[in-house]
Amino acid sequence: EAQVTQNPRYLITVTGKKLTVTCSQNMNHEYMSWYRQDPGLGLRQIYYSMNVEVTDKGDVPEGYKVSRKEKRNFPLILESPSPNQTSLYFCASSPGPYNEQFFGPGTRLTVL
Amino acid sequence: SQQGEEDPQALSIQEGENATMNCSYKTSINNLQWYRQNSGRGLVHLILIRSNEREKHSGRLRVTLDTSKKSSSLLITASRAADTASYFCATDRMNTGFQKLVFGTGTRLLVSP
């Protein structure tokens, strides 16, 4: 089944404790993105990647890192999480520019 | 920065009625997409309309695009309770290479039996 998977689905952590949210897709898509969703603000793009080893900042990249060492994986790293990073995070992949995006199920992160 | 703004923010209708949601955006686009999100879950792509298209249909969905007014509408005909969800428009910005999709804040649709 074609899908985007994210892990973990739920995470409660404390300020400053490094964490990684994994994202994997099995559709051989070149393009992948991370978004965060907050009430009243919609989805905002954090980072995106056009291919292996090619990443760039979205609209809200502060406090996040990403890497794209393999085509299928695009982990999101929070080196020192803070409470304002409490949010619902989505990973998405796409076969090409200006195509539909396929979203993962989301990761609900709470930073205390 | 918000590119798309949906209107209304919330819409409540009865089963069988039609639901219309609008999206306005600010800059020139390559295409506009509509997505649905059931509560707290991942977004599901509904339809993509390119900047040179004016109307597109998919089942009970009808999307229009007016690039001169920088607006789009999503019409769901003969709505069902299962259509209850949030609906988002997403636009890309022309000439930015990769699809830097920008989502609106969404319309929450409630369809009552």
- Interchain proximity B45–A50, CB inside 8 Å: no
pLDDT, residue B1, reads 44
From CA B38, how far away is CA B56, in angstroms rounded? 23
The per-residue pLDDT for range B21-78, each reduced to its tens digit, is: 999 998 888 889 999 999 878 899 999 999 999 999 999 999 999 999 999 999 999 9
- Does B99 score more than 90 pLDDT? no
**What pLDDT is attached to residue A109?**
98
Contact across the interface for A56 and B92, Cβ inside 8 Å: no
CA atoms within 13 A on the CB side of B112: 4
Stretch B73-100: mean pLDDT: 86
Asked if A75 contacts A51 with a C-beta cutoff of 8 angstroms, the reply is no
pLDDT band at A32 (very low <50, low <70, confident <90, very high): very high
Query: DSSP 3-state assignment of B15?
Result: coil
| B113 cis-preceded (ω within 30 degrees of 0) | no
Residues of A in contact with B94 (CB under 8 A): none
Test the B interface: residue of A41, A46, A94, A100 with most B CBs within 10 Å? A100
On chain B, the residues whose CB falls within 8 A of the CB of A94 are 99
